[in-house]
Amino acid sequence: MRNIILIVDDIEMNRAILSSVFEDTYQILEAENGQEALELIRTREKEIAAILLDVVMPVMDGFELLRCMKAEDTGREIPVFLITADASEKNMREGFEYGVKDIIQKPFIPYFVRQRINSVIELYMTQEQLRETVEHQAAVIEAKVEEVSKVSRSVIEILALAIEFRSGETGLHVQNIHDLTKILLRRLREKKFPDCSFSDEQIELIATASMLHDVGKIAVPDNILNKPGKLTKDEFQIMKQHSLTGAEMLEKMTDIQANPVFSYAYDICRHHHERWDGTGYPDGLKGNENSICAQVVALADVYDALTHKRCYKPAIEKAKAAEMIVNGECGVFNPLLIEAFLDIREQIIMEVE
Amino acid sequence: MKLEELKEKIDIDVEGSLSRFAGMEKMYIKFLKKLPEDGNYEKLKEAVEKKETDNIEVYAHTLKGICGNLGLTYLYEKSTQIVAAVREDRAQEIPGLMNELSEEMEKAAELIRKLD
């Protein structure tokens, strides 16, 4: 709470007069020149409600004090009033240019001075309270947003895990897709890859969205999903539906526009089986018709599927899997994406289980 | 003694001073009473006797400010003239001005001490 009025005047009599006007409502601090005042302002900035400032003083005059305060950026939230016998146009202009709130000419009538100064102090205090309230509320909102985003990430993870458990897997795949997507996108950003200038936050959102890539598998019957060995042509057609189904689910369940994670997830669900040469599904997108996010998840999905055992295939050694991807044995990928993958192959082999 | 009576005995602008004191009569009297006690006048007198020009200027200037604030018109004028005499190299005028100032000052001091 600000309850001090700082009176700066070299003449004791003037300080005494101003002091008597305010001493019943405020604590009074006195300074004989700008230098003394500056030291008080530095140490008690948060307690001072107003500064009543004389212009002509020895050691440091009023305008010099205002210059110092500006230079040090101190007392910015304290209203300053010039109290002067010389309210010439030049003085008044200079005062207002330094940001003083009002200029009070001596001799003055105490009642009016008190009213003028009090109303400015009240205004300042109200503004300060509002500012504090807004800051507090902003912090509360930020915490809530953080909480909601944690919850939504958990829900996404649970959903992704449920799908994976249904295929008799452990949940590692979902985590790995998340990590691989993140590492690859960061590398692409480093290489200044086109359309890849994502922020850390966006990369995290895309990686979270990538965990939902197979959410459409919920609609694939168990006998197909968990069939050991090769699928028949018809079974494969049903299996392929999962990318469209996932996209449809997201479209129906969520307001995609409202949360970027869902618009990324929609794109990733639908397009994580597209290939660079247009031979993928469901839309047969060619080259960069497919978004870079979906391209990255497609590669991550292939790598992780190769390196782990599935009901229809054994696990392949990591280095071998990387080689297969690079050689185009798992479909054609964006050559620049392959380049980025090669750059960080060792890191991927080391870090991703 | 009241301010009203003082007005009739020495050259003093009570109304103007009260407005400078924002109408606070008690405070005006409090500061008037400081005048005979603050020692500035004595220092000026000594400096004049010793012909210490620099000190004359300093103490006369201070006295000028104080008398101006307190509305002691005659004392204000005399101290102003002493400051001017120093600055304009008219030292020969100073003792005469100082005598005039002293006469009024001693009278004023005595009366001010009697103020309620």
Q: Write the pLDDT tens digit of every residue in A176-235.
A: 999 999 999 999 999 998 888 999 999 999 999 999 999 999 999 999 998 888 899 999
- Taking the CA of residue B2 and the nearest CA in chain A, the distance in Å comes to 21
CB-based contacts of A75: which residues, under 8 Å, 6+ apart?
Answer: A41, A45, A48, A51, A69
Taking contacts as CB-CB distances below 8 angstroms, the residues of chain A near B20 are 17, 106-107
Q: Which pLDDT does position A168 carry in this prediction? A: 78
Is the CB of residue B68 less than 8 Å from the CB of residue B80?
no
Q: How many CB atoms lie within 10 A of CB A116?
A: 15
Q: Which pLDDT does position A131 carry in this prediction? A: 93
Is the CB of residue A231 less than 8 Å from the CB of residue A205?
no
Instruction: Say which amino acid occupies A200.
Output: D
Work out the pLDDT band at A1, boundaries 50, 70, 90: confident
Burial of A333 (0-12, 13-18, 19+ CB in 10 A): buried
Work out the pLDDT band at A317, boundaries 50, 70, 90: very high
The model's pLDDT over A248-265, given as tens digits with 9 standing for 90+, comes to 998 887 676 678 888 999
CATH 1.10.3210.10 in chain A, residue ranges: 167-351
Residue spans per domain, chain B: 3-113
pLDDT(A79) > 80: yes
Interface with chain A: mutation pick from B18, B27, B64, highest number of A CBs within 10 Å? B27
CA A292/CA B23 separation, integer angstroms: 81
Q: Which pLDDT does position A57 carry in this prediction? A: 83
Q: Which pLDDT does position B2 carry in this prediction? A: 84
**Position of tokens 């369940």?**
A253
Q: Which pLDDT does position A11 carry in this prediction? A: 84
The model's pLDDT over A261-272, given as tens digits with 9 standing for 90+, comes to 889 999 999 999
Query: Pseudo-torsion of CA A211, A217, A218, A220, nearest 10°?
Result: -170
The model's pLDDT over B42-100, given as tens digits with 9 standing for 90+, comes to 999 999 999 999 899 989 988 988 898 899 999 999 999 999 999 899 989 999 999 99
Per the document, the length of chain A is 353
Per the document, the length of chain B is 116
Is the CB of residue A277 less than 8 Å from the CB of residue A332?
yes
Q: DSSP character for A289?
A: G
CA B82/CA B61 separation, integer angstroms: 9
Q: What's the mean pLDDT when you consider all of chain B?
A: 90
CATH 3.40.50.2300 in chain A, residue ranges: 4-136
Question: Given an 8 Å threshold on Cβ–Cβ distance, is A107 in contact with B69?
Answer: no
Q: Which pLDDT does position A264 carry in this prediction? A: 94
Could you tell me which residues are beta bridge partners of residue A53?
A: A8, A82
Catalytic position from the list A101, A150, A217, A313: A217
Mean pLDDT of A289-304: 96
Q: Take residue A255 and report the two structure tokens written for it.
A: 């307001």
- B26 interfacial to chain A (CB closer than 8 Å): no
Mean pLDDT of A47-63: 91
CATH no. of A167-351: 1.10.3210.10
Active site residue A101: no
- Taking the CA of residue A109 and the nearest CA in chain B, the distance in Å comes to 5
Which residue in A198, A178, A179 sits closest to A188, CA to CA? Answer: A198
The model's pLDDT over A99-138, given as tens digits with 9 standing for 90+, comes to 999 999 877 788 889 999 999 999 999 999 999 999 999 9
Is the CB of residue A328 less than 8 Å from the CB of residue A276?
no
CATH no. of B3-113: 1.20.120.160
CA B75/CA B92 separation, integer angstroms: 19
Work out the pLDDT band at A40, boundaries 50, 70, 90: very high
The percent of residues above 90 in pLDDT, for chain A, comes to 69
- Chain A residue with minimal CA distance to B22? A109
Count how many Cα atoms sit within 13 Å of the Cα of residue A189 in the half-sphere of its side chain. 13
CA A120/CA A115 separation, integer angstroms: 9
CA A111/CA A24 separation, integer angstroms: 13
Radius of gyration of chain A from its Cα atoms, rounded to whole angstroms: 35
pLDDT(A277) > 90: yes
Question: Given an 8 Å threshold on Cβ–Cβ distance, is A11 in contact with B27?
Answer: no
Q: Take residue A194 and report the two structure tokens written for it.
A: 């086109």
For residue B6, the Cα-to-chain-centroid distance in whole angstroms is: 15
Interface with chain B: mutation pick from A7, A9, A11, A13, highest number of B CBs within 10 Å? A13
**Helices A62-72 and A89-97 meet at what angle, rounded to 10?**
20
Top pLDDT among A275 and B5 is at: A275
CATH no. of A4-136: 3.40.50.2300
Sign of CA dihedral A254, A259, A265, A267: positive
Give whole-number Cα distances, A157 to A101, A175, A240, A332, in Å: 57, 9, 22, 29
Question: Given an 8 Å threshold on Cβ–Cβ distance, is A107 in contact with B27?
Answer: no
Range scoring the smallest mean pLDDT among A43-47, A302-306, B64-68 = B64-68
Backbone angles phi, psi at A331, to 5 degrees: 100, 165
Q: Which pLDDT does position A29 carry in this prediction? A: 96
Question: Given an 8 Å threshold on Cβ–Cβ distance, is A108 in contact with B22?
Answer: yes
